[in-house]
Amino acid sequence: MKMVNLTIDGKTVTVPEGTLIVNAAKKVGIDIPVFCYHPKMEPVGMCRMCLVEIGRPVIDRTTGQVVREDDGSPKMQFGPKLETACTTPVSEGMVVLGTSEKAKAGRQDIIEFLLTSHPLDCPICDKGGECPLQNLTMEFGPGESRYLYDEKMHLAKHVPLGELIYLDRERCIQCGRCVRFQDQVVDDPVIGFFQRGRSLEIVTYSEPGFDSVFSGNTTDICPVGALTTTDFRFKARPWELRSAASICTQCPVGCNIAFNTRREAVSGGKWVIKRVMPRQNEWVNEIWMCDKGRFGYHYSKSAERLTQPLVRRQGELAPATWEEALSFVAERFQQAGDGLFSIAGGRLSNEDLYNQGKLTDSLGGKKVLYGTMGGGDLTAQSGLVPGSNFSDMGKETAILVVASDLHEEAPIWWLRVKQAAERGAQLIVANPRPTRLDAYATHLVRYPYGSEAGALLAMVNTLSAKRPDLPEAVANLVRSPELKAAAKAFAEAENAVILYGSEGTGLETSTALAQSCQNLLLATGHIGRINNGLVAVWQRVNDQGAWELGWRPVANLPEAMQAARALYVAAADPAGDDPAYLAEGRLGSQEQAFLVVQDLFLTATARLADVVLPVQAWTEREGSYTSGERRVQRFYPVVPELADSYADFSVAGQIGKRLGLDMEIRLAGRTFARLASETPAFTGLSYARLAEVVEQWPIVGRGDLYYGGTTYENSQGIGVQLPLTSAGGLSWPKLVEVGMPKIGLLAVPITRLYDHGSTLLPSSMLHQRIPEPYVVLNDQDAERLKISEGAAIQLIPAEGGSWLGVRAIARLRSDVPERIVLVPRSFGLPVAGPTVVSVRLAERVLA
Amino acid sequence: MDADTGLPSQSQNGQYLLLRHRDTPSIGELEVYRRLGGFEAWQKVITSMQPGQVTDVVKTSGLRGRGGAGFPTGMKWAFIDNKNWPHYVVANADESEPGTFKDREIMEGNPFQFLEGVAICAYAIQANAAYVYLRGEFWQLAAWLDRKIAEMEAAGLLGEKLFGTDYSLHIYTHLGAGAYICGEETAMLESIEGKLGQPRLRPPFPPSYGLFGKPTVVNNVETLTNVPLIIEHGAEWYRSLGTEKSAGVKIFSLSGCVERPGNYELPLGTTFRELIFTHGGGITGDRQVKAIMAAGASSALIVANEEALDTPMDYESVPRVGAQLGSASVIVIDDSVSIPWLINKTMHFFKHESCGKCTPCREGTFWMMHLTERIVEGSATLEDVELLQDVANQVKGKCLCALGDFSTEAVLTGIERFRPDFELAVAGSAVAN
Amino acid sequence: MAGIIGEILRGLSTTLHMAATKPVTIQYPEVKRPVRPRFKGRHHLMRYDNGMEKCIGCSLCSAACPADAIFVEAAENTDEERYSPGERYARVYEINMLRCIFCGYCEDACPTEAIVLGDNYELSFTDRRSSIYAKEMLLVPVDEGGKPTPQKVEPGIYTRSIPVMQDPKD
């Protein structure tokens, strides 16, 4: 790496060749003002704010040597015009003047030009207080305006670009950051420039408007108040807000976020969350976050939240005190003994899972993770090691994404993988149907639904000399030239990462897939080094954490629950997900199992319960989550807790204490300390370690908001990556035969970002993006079955089961494989894995 | 034809080199053009010359870009990056500069010579595809050129494996949509690529990073029309025309307050006086010439005194009177024209045509237009004139491309050199000083 | 004898002189002295002549206040329910009179001359709750010819939040 020395405003700095002057200046603490430049995008030099005087040493053409003055200093040649610092790379001996009279006049001129068209909106503009234009005007702008007010351009204000983002055309300074972000960074050019000259304006090309899951990021990087979110409109001024660090709970990426809160009069003086902003973590989400996290936090402040324990008396659930409820629960758990059956969902934090697990284990009971995805033990054996970072992956890395529609399952990982591919990584996308990642793939592998593990095994087999007997389906796949090429690229890459999701898989097929993935990594030697390993695209934020703490899903939950005498269900809603439970009227065994539900809302399962225990939302307490990359990150309390409320770990701990167990009931930090001492992977971790930060690049959130945007600086912790636990071994996974049915269709579950999940539906502002329940059929199948686009249909499982009453809209696509029905999860259609179904038109509209 | 040398002499009364249709109206027909020696240079180049040799000949000839910048053409061709393929040629037929109408006449009247020039340029840089970018208003001309290209293809002059060699060339026309900024070479490339017609950052320049990111030569129509003659008659012959530093002939588009506006093909070095009075028939009525805009609307205003009128029109001499020759679109202003009125017109043009990418041009042209509007209306003061000068100086030197800078030329030189006009304009203003 | 009385009278001269002079005491509260022109008393949220509120809910007064006495929550105007010209108005506006130091910075900061400090200084209350002056208490009554807020208006007229300002008159 060749280094270059130059002088900026009198300070010398040495930077790698190719560094832009703006970035070199940052290294010595000089902030050159910019509007259109953003460190995460290619420079365009269009706003002209960064104009500086640049002098270069004169080189003698004949000798190639620097011409010297009499005193030995190099003869400098200053350009006749000011040049833009954001587009000019450094060169040896360069002298940059940003504070000379000419440069300062240049900055003042540009600010004056921008202000001629800019409206007098500061008092009513949401950006006021964190506005780069305001700050730079104060620093560099003219004190008075020479422009006549009546000649100002009057344009449309308050234009909805979709229902999430408002555009104010008068405020826009045509810096192009939003357009370039959508085009270059997320490759979703749903907005663009229209017209030219002074009439240059932003328009949206999609219907619904600004149809991109990353649209909220443009409001962070917009240097003025032109792009604002409808969520935050007029809610508060930035200086009135308090900020608290947290982790997004909508997907396993674990984006670092910051909540802004303020006391609200209309809520009677309560602390209320006003908005969500991303927090910088270059190892997880860089400075971005997706719209689901940004606009999907409202469930934590929903009016439907449970506030009091409920106990069933005379057949009805009635409010009770904590003392009553907990004693009752403890008594019945004691009686149940090893008949205690705990079901926990992946929304719970590490501390919650630890305490509930400890309680269950101490009684000899069984604990089950609510989910349909396997392989969490394998990711602990062959996952990403500390130091791994998607941003560092490029030409020498192969990334295999199998059975995952990443854009829907984990948008930020989709973005990171796409960017790695654009940097030259080999991207192998293996999926039964086309997804949004295909455009960046170097290799595309198609396999039939149900044969995901087979596809990976086929890849292993093309690489190894020995070819053991393979099932028919796998043998066919081995012959595919795309698969062979993909396997070769994977093996030859220096580093390789596999991300596996849950596209069309249930627990068994998913477990087989995870094992096959691990086999491939072991066979090609891609384990145990930085930027190598297995990553699971879980369905919930802390599924990986649950696996680390010994929680496992089971294939047949009703069967597993048969012997239970007490059920302890936390953050899971089996009855809500599968109406079969409701039809039978009871969860668990034939004898009336004692049912305790611990949740935020009165779910369908809670309605069947004997005791309902309310808990705090993650915004009201602290804790930690383990992301899909196995990074443990802390989240902090954002709003004060309600009186007389407890976190999940505290509730479990209090029950345990009543049973005579030594459990932490008060502090999450102490719970974590116990967890760390008992779980090998977490050895040495503590809340203090999780709160450590390092300096990150690009610089955000300092006084120079114009450089990186309004993303928050991370001062509360970047988290710690867990080390690998044990070594995994090659093992032949149990391949489940998922054949195509002779009659009927094969329904497979897929994930959709905007679904009917209970943590998303309370966000009414996203309702336009959340469709009614639907399934996707192959268009030829639909024609055969005489189902037209938009028809209301019902799915009847071949094995029986009462899905009656659950209807969906049929959507027809040609890229769905034949005889397949895609059923999105969390829409009320209980498809837990590949299931044979028959399809019929819904007879009548059901209320 | 020169009696001694047998070579074409300077075009004068029937010896046109570029506007040959004025000598031979049917030269737009392929057989006529070939009968007059057309496409012999093309065949010679493909069958007997190396690409580098072609470039050298054009370099030696001293041909300079006729689109306005006057950059040595051969040098531009030599800059092409030979490590990055494929190469492209783009002929700039956007011709949106007010006062310029020469390329249109060339393409209408002498299309084959132009197309042959494009072809030779393509061979010199080993491009297999060439584009002619025409302004959107030239849609009829584009259809006409398409027919001519089809005729060339039918005659084996374009297409695959020409003249028995491995070299292939296709020429395509491409229409713009009414934007002056697309005459700027990088904005033109963006437009051909289907993107918003806004200039790119330079460096890198088109010969290293051009159309679709590949090395591209962009040349004006008139420049390319000179090329077949240079190949046919030699670089030395071309050097003998014009002046030492500005070789060759130029088509001067004369317009404004003259008796006979139109295109005049004359050697470089002809004086303004000769162009305006001898060929152009002098000023209409019995008015006096007041100012000359040598480069269309992008010009500085030349004070039309004796010295200026006697200045030769070439790239070196015109700067002596404080202007650039540019594309030689000579607009003549007489003493009935108020300079504030004139710069109001140019400002309206630039405000309308600014692409909006960079702040000074986008906001500056808008502001200056409002100021000139008020000055002309009579509702401005002397402070406004000084403000206009200030704003123009603020815009100058800060823009992404030349449009912004050029928009200030007429304004600044107008105020500086014709101050009494402005004082008159604001004297009658209703607004108290 | 006469000398001593004379001395006493001389000594009491100032007292007697003052006894004969008119006292300067103003019999408050029956008689109230008018305040000076720039007196800073109780706040008023002003209206335009047509009855619309001048306050646009920008919170600049709140930011300027050295005592953190002002609390503002803004909301969006619609043409069916319009409180102020432009997009934004103050839905909640509270001043804590116990915190307020009557410095007038809020009046200086206000971009629309909405909050002004008036003449009233008789502001006592008997419990802390009453010291929170809400928007209804601060808004001035509607002038003749004006309509009370919220108003229903034609769309497209009241688009500007900050009107053309004139120079201060005092």
Number of residues written out for chain C:
170
Domain limits for position C88: 35-138
Confidence at B2, pLDDT banded by 50, 70, 90: low
User: Using the beta-carbon criterion (under 8 Å), do A265 and C94 form an inter-chain contact?
Assistant: yes
Q: What is the CATH number of the domain that holds A71?
A: 3.10.20.740
Q: Are B135 and B178 in contact (CB under 8 A)?
A: yes
| Spatial distance between the Cα atoms of A36 and A173, rounded to a whole number of angstroms | 9
* Same domain (yes/no): A65, A188: no
User: Using the beta-carbon criterion (under 8 Å), do B353 and A197 form an inter-chain contact?
Assistant: yes
DSSP string, B258-313: BSS-EEEEEETT-BHHIIIIIIS--BSTT--EEEEETBGGGPPEEE--HHHHTSB-
Tell me which of B180, B350, B355, B362 to substitute to probe the interface with A (most A C-beta atoms closer than 10 Å): B362
Is A806's pLDDT higher than 80? no
Angle, vertex CA B199, rays to CA B197 and CA B200, nearest 5: 120
Domain assignment present for residue A41? The answer is yes
Tell me which chain B residues have a C-beta less than 8 angstroms from the C-beta of A193.
Answer: 196, 356
Domain assignment present for residue A255? The answer is no
Domain assignment present for residue C26? The answer is no
| Spatial distance between the Cα atoms of A413 and A180, rounded to a whole number of angstroms | 20
Residue type, A123: P
Tell me which of C136, C162, C165, C166 to substitute to probe the interface with A (most A C-beta atoms closer than 10 Å): C162
Q: What is the CATH number of the domain that holds A222?
A: 3.30.70.20
* Same domain (yes/no): A83, A120: no
Is A587's pLDDT higher than 70? no
Pick B364's closest partner by Cβ from A51, A82, A113.
Answer: A113
| Spatial distance between the Cα atoms of A518 and A378, rounded to a whole number of angstroms | 7
User: Which residue has 């002088």 as its token pair?
Assistant: A7
3-state secondary structure at position A500: strand
* Same domain (yes/no): A516, A555: no
Q: What is the CATH number of the domain that holds A798?
A: 2.40.40.20
User: Which residue has 């090659």 as its token pair?
Assistant: A730
Our CA-based measurement puts residue A129 at a distance from the nearest CA of chain C, in whole angstroms, of 10
Average pLDDT over residues B144-162: 96
* Same domain (yes/no): A631, A575: yes
Q: What is the CATH number of the domain that holds C54?
A: 3.30.70.3270
| Spatial distance between the Cα atoms of A1 and A801, rounded to a whole number of angstroms | 65
Phi, psi at B265, each rounded to 5°: -90, 115
* Same domain (yes/no): A513, A584: no
**In this predicted model, what pLDDT tens digit does every residue of A402-453 receive, in sequence order?**
999 999 999 999 999 999 999 999 999 999 999 999 999 999 999 999 889 9
Domain assignment present for residue C143? The answer is no
Q: Are B389 and B418 in contact (CB under 8 A)?
A: no
- Quickly count: other Cβ atoms within 10 Å of residue A541's Cβ: 28
- What are the strands, taking DSSP E only, across A715-832? 720-721, 745-750, 774-778, 792-797, 807-813, 820-824
| Spatial distance between the Cα atoms of B102 and A563, rounded to a whole number of angstroms | 95
Confidence at A465, pLDDT banded by 50, 70, 90: low
Confidence at A590, pLDDT banded by 50, 70, 90: very low
Domain assignment present for residue C87? The answer is yes
What's the pLDDT at A801?
Answer: 64
Residue of A379, A375, A380, A374 lying closest to A725 (CA atoms)? A380
Domain assignment present for residue A242? The answer is no
What's the pLDDT at A840?
Answer: 84
Domain assignment present for residue C17? The answer is no
What's the pLDDT at A733?
Answer: 81
**Is chain A touching chain B, with at least 3 CB–CB pairs below 8 Å?**
yes
| Spatial distance between the Cα atoms of B300 and B406, rounded to a whole number of angstroms | 8
Cross-strand pairs, B13: none
* Same domain (yes/no): A588, A684: yes
Our CA-based measurement puts residue A47 at a distance from the nearest CA of chain C, in whole angstroms, of 27
Domain limits for position A501: 389-539
DSSP string, A197-260: GGG-EEEE-SSSSS--TTTHHHHHH-SSTTEEETTTTTT--GGG-EEEEEE--SSTT--EEEEE
Pick A123's closest partner by Cβ from C58, C75, C164.
Answer: C58
User: Using the beta-carbon criterion (under 8 Å), do C57 and A234 form an inter-chain contact?
Assistant: yes
Domain assignment present for residue A846? The answer is no
Confidence at A540, pLDDT banded by 50, 70, 90: very high
Our CA-based measurement puts residue A169 at a distance from the nearest CA of chain B, in whole angstroms, of 14
Q: Are A719 and A634 in contact (CB under 8 A)?
A: yes
* Same domain (yes/no): A780, A829: yes
Q: Which one has a higher pLDDT value, B433 or B160?
A: B160
Q: Return the C-alpha torsion angle B22, B28, B31, B36, nearest 10.
A: 30
User: Which residue has 């030197």 as its token pair?
Assistant: B397
3-state secondary structure at position A753: coil
| Spatial distance between the Cα atoms of A174 and A168, rounded to a whole number of angstroms | 12
| Spatial distance between the Cα atoms of B243 and B246, rounded to a whole number of angstroms | 5
Q: Are A356 and A568 in contact (CB under 8 A)?
A: yes
Tell me which chain C residues have a C-beta less than 8 angstroms from the C-beta of A237.
Answer: 59, 62-63
Confidence at A630, pLDDT banded by 50, 70, 90: very high
Tell me which chain A residues have a C-beta less than 8 angstroms from the C-beta of B179.
Answer: 196
Number of residues written out for chain A:
847
Confidence at C1, pLDDT banded by 50, 70, 90: low
Average pLDDT over residues B125-154: 96
| Spatial distance between the Cα atoms of A316 and A328, rounded to a whole number of angstroms | 16
Burial track A774-788 (b if 16+ CB lie within 10 A, e otherwise) = bbbbbbebbeebebe
Q: Are C96 and C132 in contact (CB under 8 A)?
A: yes
Residue of A411, A387, A374 lying closest to A500 (CA atoms)? A374
* Same domain (yes/no): A673, A775: no
pTM score above 0.90 = yes
Question: How many structural domains does chain C have?
Answer: 1
Tell me which of A145, A158, A229, A234 to substitute to probe the interface with C (most C C-beta atoms closer than 10 Å): A234
| Spatial distance between the Cα atoms of A629 and A273, rounded to a whole number of angstroms | 28
Domain assignment present for residue A9? The answer is yes
Angle, vertex CA B333, rays to CA B332 and CA B338, nearest 5: 160
Domain final position from A690, A707, A729 = A690
> CB under 8 Å to B220, separation ≥6 — which residues?
B65, B66, B67, B68, B91, B92, B103, B327
Q: Return the C-alpha torsion angle B279, B281, B282, B283, nearest 10.
A: -130
* H/E run at residue A837: strand A835-841
Number of residues written out for chain B:
433
What's the pLDDT at B431?
Answer: 44
* Same domain (yes/no): A122, A205: yes
User: Using the beta-carbon criterion (under 8 Å), do B364 and A46 form an inter-chain contact?
Assistant: no
Average pLDDT over residues A556-565: 84
Phi, psi at B48, each rounded to 5°: -130, 5
Q: Which domains does chain B have, with CATH numbers?
A: 20-239 (3.40.50.11540), 249-334 (3.10.20.600), 339-427 (1.20.1440.230)
Cross-strand pairs, A369: A344
User: Using the beta-carbon criterion (under 8 Å), do A114 and B363 form an inter-chain contact?
Assistant: yes
What's the pLDDT at B290?
Answer: 95
Question: How many structural domains does chain A have?
Answer: 5
Domain assignment present for residue A383? The answer is no
End-to-end CA distance of chain C: 64
Domain assignment present for residue C28? The answer is no
Average pLDDT over residues C110-139: 94
User: Using the beta-carbon criterion (under 8 Å), do A198 and B179 form an inter-chain contact?
Assistant: no
Domain assignment present for residue C147? The answer is no
User: Using the beta-carbon criterion (under 8 Å), do C162 and A237 form an inter-chain contact?
Assistant: no
Our CA-based measurement puts residue C119 at a distance from the nearest CA of chain A, in whole angstroms, of 27
Residue type, A599: D
Interface partners of chain B (CB pairs < 8 Å, 3 or more) are A
Domain assignment present for residue A717? The answer is no
Residue of A459, A489, A464 lying closest to A474 (CA atoms)? A459
The beta-carbon contacts of C109-112 under 8 Å, at least 24 apart in sequence, are: C109/C60, C109/C61, C109/C63, C109/C64, C110/C60, C110/C61, C111/A122, C111/A123, C111/C56, C111/C58, C111/C60, C111/C162, C112/A123, C112/C54, C112/C55, C112/C56, C112/C161, C112/C162, C112/C163
3-state secondary structure at position A323: helix
* Same domain (yes/no): A141, A193: yes
Domain assignment present for residue A735? The answer is no
What's the pLDDT at B430?
Answer: 42
What ipTM did this prediction achieve? 0.92
3-state secondary structure at position A760: coil
DSSP string, B381-394: -HHHHHHHHHHHHH
3-state secondary structure at position B88: strand
Is B369's pLDDT higher than 70? yes
Confidence at A586, pLDDT banded by 50, 70, 90: low
Phi, psi at A116, each rounded to 5°: -65, -30
